[in-house]
Amino acid sequence: MSEINTVGLAGAGTMGAGIAIVAARGGFDTISFDLESDVLTGAVNQTAAFFGKSVERGKLEQGEVDTIIGRMRQTTSLEDLADCDVVIEAVFEDVGVKQDLFSALNDICPAETIFASNTSTLSITEIAGPSGRDDRCVGMHFCLPAQLNRLVEMSPGLNTSDATFETAWAFCKAMGQIPVKTKDSPGFILNHFLIPFNNDVVRMVDAGVAEPADIDKAIKTALGYPLGPCELLDMVGMDTQRLVSEALHEASHDPRAACPALVKKMIAAGRLGRKSGRGFFDYKGPAMFGA
């Protein structure tokens, strides 16, 4: 496998924007693709705000930030990912969407380009199947917020070559992340536990057992979590929670993974979380978490 110098991100939403920060901060030229120019503009603004807070808090010098941002560019043309050594997809948690994306990229990118999926619940083998290069596809599940959470779940598909996995593993470490190897299994490690847990929390809120703020306070105080589950759900987005719940439930048939009714009601009411300005909590406006 060739050395990785240029990284492509397919999808510039919350997850894609965070991964782009990680890659550029790690020293890689980074190209973010999204079909919607407004999404790209939002990612640029959120990235600037994130690094602005880093400078304010003394974590980075302005010169360092300028260098990092200088490695980043955006595009609405998928063809601009043609020169990437690895492309990481961070699009909707829908196997068909991801398969179509990889299939399109297969006609654009050189044979040696690695395709990585940020899926949190779907099968890497299934996503990679129609790609035309399933030996060069690998799972790289970053955790929200990617720019602060260093864990990456690395999952080979059935046909992923050893060389591909080793290159992706080394690339992950070069970005400053901490990889762990998982089997291509529904939910991998984290979401095997987290999705049912968060759904239990939603059902608890719906049943009136406790208010979201009190649930979060209990979890953070007693268990030492840096984020409460309701805060995390607002960050993930109710629309995304519905997608990952449905995907995990279909794969595992775990009743706790089934999407709660309250999530569907919140989506209908436009209360998606941070991205819409209101979820379990109210926000001044959509923003990227952390600094």
Residues 89, 123, 141, 192: which is the catalytic one? Answer: 141
β-bridge mates for residue 10, sequence order: 33, 89
Asked if residues 191 and 249 have their Cβ atoms less than 8 Å apart, the reply is no
Q: Which of 117, 118, 120, 131 is catalytic?
A: 120
First CA to last CA distance, the chain: 34
192 among known catalytic residues:
no
Among 6, 12, 65, smallest CA distance to 37 is for 12
Collapsed DSSP state (helix, strand, coil) of residue 7 = strand
Look up 141 and say whether it is catalytic.
yes
**Both tokens assigned to 68:** 């990092």
The CA-atom distances, in angstroms, between 179 and each of 10, 39, 155, 175 are 21, 28, 10, 10
Tracing tokens 């899926």 back to the chain, one arrives at 119
Question: Per the residue annotation, which of 118, 131, 191, 199 is the catalytic one?
Answer: 191
Amino acid at the residue 162: D
| Given the residues 153, 161, 199, 245, the one annotated as active site | 153
d(CA 270, CA 255): 26
Half-sphere exposure of 219 (CA within 13 A, CB side): 18
Q: Which ranges of the chain would DSSP assign to H, the alpha helix?
A: 14-25, 37-56, 62-70, 95-106, 124-128, 162-174, 190-206, 212-223, 229-236, 238-252, 261-268
- Comparing C-alpha atoms, which of 197, 233, 175, 195 is closest to residue 28? 175
Provide the annotated active-site residues: 120, 141, 153, 191
